[in-house]
Structure 1
């Protein structure tokens, strides 16, 4: 290729190149235009679409409008009313600020801009095929606000038009773009029409009930019912919104919305912090659902790092990560999922891990505020007691009827009082709220796990109990080598193991809470769960990066040593277990995210027997 002289690009081509960064498809246009409407103070926004946005897009708002002498400026690149100096760029408070949306759209469509301000009796119209072909504004009748009509998107860039998908696909993208904006601005009404048919009509939602209704309209009744509203503050930040219950976790991360200063963003640091908060209550292949709003000093977040403004950069990402991880984890521990069974008929079989038939009570203000009747961490270890099984004696206190009766006079326990056991797996308990059904194994698993975690986090190691007769077991040479190098990690989770041959190890002690477990089987499961043990310098201690792996192992141990189905308990022992559940954090679900108890309330019971009809 022969050398070519350097020349400035034509303005039209410059605008079309810039449009490629902003306008990907019709949904991109909707996003930019609706964000402009929100910045203009609109209270009602109407989006009209034809042929999935390929033929026409129209966005109407009742904002403060654009003065006639500024209509042409609105179509000029880098012309904006939202920032004036670097100081304002470093603390952006508006959704748009670059002044590229309208000129970029105008460069690849036939754009018509109509607007009226409160200072003018009538509005003005400006038509443009691109940013360079603007004519003088023409007067017309128009209500207060702005209407932007975009016809024939990509008509002058056929290569871009070929990449557009079917009308239904493009419409789905438009709906998702509008859904995100509507979730971020409850005080604004939205409507969406396609081919003359109204698809959406969302009224402004100022009350808690109206916001819950909008949440259900946009994300479905299942999420609205299986989530809890939270508010918390700290480290100069405020977080509010809806946390999906662990029992409503999904197989993909398609219901995760995080807004920073009302701007929907994607950020790995923040997303990791939220996921870490859920790690104790979810399967590893499940994703939490949430709609969260983080308010932070605009000077602490840079929104000018992506043309589409999807990504941000926090000036102190570590603090944001820790705030989200710790506060959300605390909030999850306080939520009391009053899981209610379907009222039409009793379900059959075990509930799936992503079951959504749940409701939740709501912690308010900061995470330190306890939700009504929410299970919370006991400041001191639970008292000693007895269960039918030997290991249970070390977990619970001796149930004292007099003490329990005195408590009942004071306040009814959350889970009421046991009335029996069915299928040797579930406890039935009665309270003023209805009939509780408790999964013994799932609940006990959570209790054991929290006890193990508390021990490991306290002195740095789980309390051990020496075996009367050490157990020698065969392993592979690689496993034997790993055990030899991983004494610190093994002792931290309550296992004392040493190598006694090329392919032999000896278990000398196990966690005191699990003294009834098979030592050899327990060690095999631990080694299988944590294959990276032994891959560090023994003198370096336990690396912080291994702490999540330690918790995974503790969860496995809890599952291994908890009460199994098929064991019969007395009424006293059942009540002991119920009281322990109530004072254990995160006891509403097991370590894998499955619910530990469900409520069949009075309404459901009445429907089962057609009472009141």
Structure 2
């Protein structure tokens, strides 16, 4: 007796169903995508008992003729492709010709369809076998009803999750489709109760607002960037808001919702130095690239893609998100509706560039207020950077509040800057530049500092000795774990070098970062935090101006290295509302 045999078609169909139809949400996804491929402008989804007893998807698309409706239930039948070459750059959602027959093989399936209002066709099938084909009067479009899913596959039915869990999966599938195709109207009903009613939306922000709420959507930051042939757009969470609500990740590649850990990591990498470790932001990103640079035919459910040059795509995503986080829109605010989004397009910017305005020279890399640093003594790379022409920054009238915040007025509101967080951001970027490109200038002490360290602190210093030197600390050993400090950086006149070194070494004790860049970021962030001016420090007008200009010239002015906001914006509309004027 031979050991190899051809499987019966019924068994083969159920195996195919196992690849495509994992749960009721898979049925909803496939049927909704078929509706969208048919040109639908309206899609209605009705489910009962979490999709266990019924899934019905209705659309107003192109519909099918009688012959096509019957043929659609045959394996490998598709209207999307004709030859192997068509798989390159395929833009349709469903193209393998397996979804409908796979669903039909494990359910009672009913199709009503018409290519024009009036005469249509109804096809009834069960367990993969067509039972009846007859005429049916209906409007143009298609309705597919799937009942008793997995009725003939008890092992699969046994592994279905609870009704609530299956319903959650269905809801996520519809939401995903709605986010991809914002030009289409969607409704979702569960056990007779409306769950979603989403009209066509003009933008991603509007769609997100309709699904998750206007306040959530309005707090997101726009991403819009092009790197060569790769475009990245969408919305990302402000660092100040990360962790305050449920995390949501939504990725689209060439019009197809996908899962891709590499893109997510690249987007999260853009948040470096703005978020504490372990906190992850919400992302709504749409990536477009040439069709021949991405393979969509690598996953049975078409949920993953393969890039020809993944590194370039991930770098484009990281750059786009990083640029978005560097705009004033990413700053925290109160009453954001006045600023932009659903109620308008006005985008106030607290830091304006005006070449005819007051010129305030940028502080040298050695420190924000260190005016006595000799440029000639600085390394060549730093000295060159200091002599490079800077754009002129318009500095508004500044006021210090509670010796903690700087305040200034704009036409559309009031802006507050946290002096410690702002200085921390400035120093972090300066220290990172010193660690990556060359040593920072320092000031020699008249009398060396003597530091007696514990064993753990001593080990932390030994591990980072060369990096401390780049930051401007000239230190030598004095036996055991005792150090003599001869030179220190000068970030501001009140800088306490001994306290900064001790607290930094305490923080670095037991540091487990192994990558060079990660070590640089860790050290720069720690020293910047300890060296920055503190809340309660009085600032002169010149010092406030210098801090304002230095912050304006950073890459991420709205966030400190811990994810806290440096800038908070309050619109006049919100102020008037608080005082009862609106």
Q: Give the TM-score range, shorter chain.
A: 0.7 to 0.9
Q: Which residue among 279, 287, 309 is the counterpart of 1:286? A: 279
Q: Which residue among 414, 418, 424 is the counterpart of 2:398? A: 418
What TM-score do you get using the length of structure 1 for normalisation? 0.81
Residue aligned with 2:146, SS: strand
Q: Please tell me whether residue 235 in structure 1 is matched to residue 228 in structure 2.
A: yes
| Native 8 Å contact 2:367 2:427 kept in 1 | no
State the partner residue of 2:135.
139
State the partner residue of 1:365.
none
Q: Which residue among 373, 376, 398 is the counterpart of 2:349? A: 373
Distance 1:391 1:243 in 2: 33
Kindly state the Cα deviation for residue 77 of structure 1 after the two structures are TM-superposed. 2.1
State the partner residue of 2:384.
none
Q: Which residue among 288, 291, 301 is the counterpart of 1:308? A: 301
Q: Which residue among 157, 172, 176 is the counterpart of 2:168? A: 172
| Native 8 Å contact 1:480 1:499 kept in 2 | no
Using a 3 Å threshold, how does the CA distance of structure 1 residues 530 and 21 change in structure 2: closer, same or farther?
A: farther
Using a 3 Å threshold, how does the CA distance of structure 1 residues 204 and 432 change in structure 2: closer, same or farther?
A: same
Using a 3 Å threshold, how does the CA distance of structure 1 residues 189 and 534 change in structure 2: closer, same or farther?
A: closer
Using a 3 Å threshold, how does the CA distance of structure 1 residues 492 and 72 change in structure 2: closer, same or farther?
A: farther
1:187-336 to 2 correspondences below 5 Å: 187-205=183-201, 207-208=202-203, 211-250=204-243, 254-336=247-329
Residue aligned with 1:59, SS: strand
Using a 3 Å threshold, how does the CA distance of structure 1 residues 23 and 508 change in structure 2: closer, same or farther?
A: farther
Q: Please tell me whether residue 59 in structure 1 is matched to residue 37 in structure 2.
A: no
Residue aligned with 1:137, SS: strand
| Native 8 Å contact 1:44 1:190 kept in 2 | yes
Q: Please tell me whether residue 129 in structure 1 is matched to residue 126 in structure 2.
A: yes
Q: Which residue among 491, 494, 505 is the counterpart of 2:469? A: 491
Kindly state the Cα deviation for residue 564 of structure 1 after the two structures are TM-superposed. 0.8
Residue aligned with 1:224, SS: helix
| Native 8 Å contact 1:493 1:550 kept in 2 | no
| Native 8 Å contact 1:253 1:288 kept in 2 | no
Residues 289-333 of structure 1: CA distance to partner in whole angstroms, max 9, x if unpaired? Answer: 221110111211122222222222211011111111123212321
1:322-471 to 2 correspondences below 5 Å: 322-337=315-330, 339-341=332-334, 373=349, 375=351, 383=361, 392-394=368-370, 416-422=396-402, 424-457=403-436, 459-471=437-449
Distance 1:285 1:377 in 2: 36
Using a 3 Å threshold, how does the CA distance of structure 1 residues 268 and 376 change in structure 2: closer, same or farther?
A: farther
| Native 8 Å contact 1:462 1:494 kept in 2 | yes
Using a 3 Å threshold, how does the CA distance of structure 1 residues 375 and 4 change in structure 2: closer, same or farther?
A: farther
Using a 3 Å threshold, how does the CA distance of structure 1 residues 18 and 469 change in structure 2: closer, same or farther?
A: farther
Distance 1:71 1:391 in 2: 74
Kindly state the Cα deviation for residue 24 of structure 1 after the two structures are TM-superposed. 1.9
State the partner residue of 1:587.
557
Residue aligned with 1:318, SS: helix
Distance 2:577 2:267 in 1: 39
Distance 2:513 2:74 in 1: 62
What TM-score do you get using the length of structure 2 for normalisation? 0.85
Using a 3 Å threshold, how does the CA distance of structure 1 residues 606 and 523 change in structure 2: closer, same or farther?
A: same
Using a 3 Å threshold, how does the CA distance of structure 1 residues 502 and 569 change in structure 2: closer, same or farther?
A: closer
Kindly state the Cα deviation for residue 274 of structure 1 after the two structures are TM-superposed. 0.5
Distance 1:568 1:297 in 2: 55
Using a 3 Å threshold, how does the CA distance of structure 1 residues 156 and 385 change in structure 2: closer, same or farther?
A: closer
In the alignment, structure 1 segments of 5+ residues that lack a partner are 343-356, 363-370, 398-409, 536-544
Residue aligned with 1:393, SS: coil
Residue aligned with 2:224, SS: strand
Residues 445-471 of structure 1: CA distance to partner in whole angstroms, max 9, x if unpaired? Answer: 1122223234444x3333344444444
State the partner residue of 1:406.
none
Q: Please tell me whether residue 149 in structure 1 is matched to residue 133 in structure 2.
A: no
| Native 8 Å contact 2:122 2:136 kept in 1 | yes
Using a 3 Å threshold, how does the CA distance of structure 1 residues 359 and 248 change in structure 2: closer, same or farther?
A: farther
In the alignment, structure 2 segments of 5+ residues that lack a partner are 342-346, 374-391
Kindly state the Cα deviation for residue 531 of structure 1 after the two structures are TM-superposed. 5.0
| Native 8 Å contact 1:375 1:581 kept in 2 | no
Residues 148-206 of structure 1: CA distance to partner in whole angstroms, max 9, x if unpaired? Answer: 1000111112222223333333222211111111011111111111222222211112x
Distance 1:42 1:480 in 2: 68
Alignment root-mean-square deviation, CA: 3.4
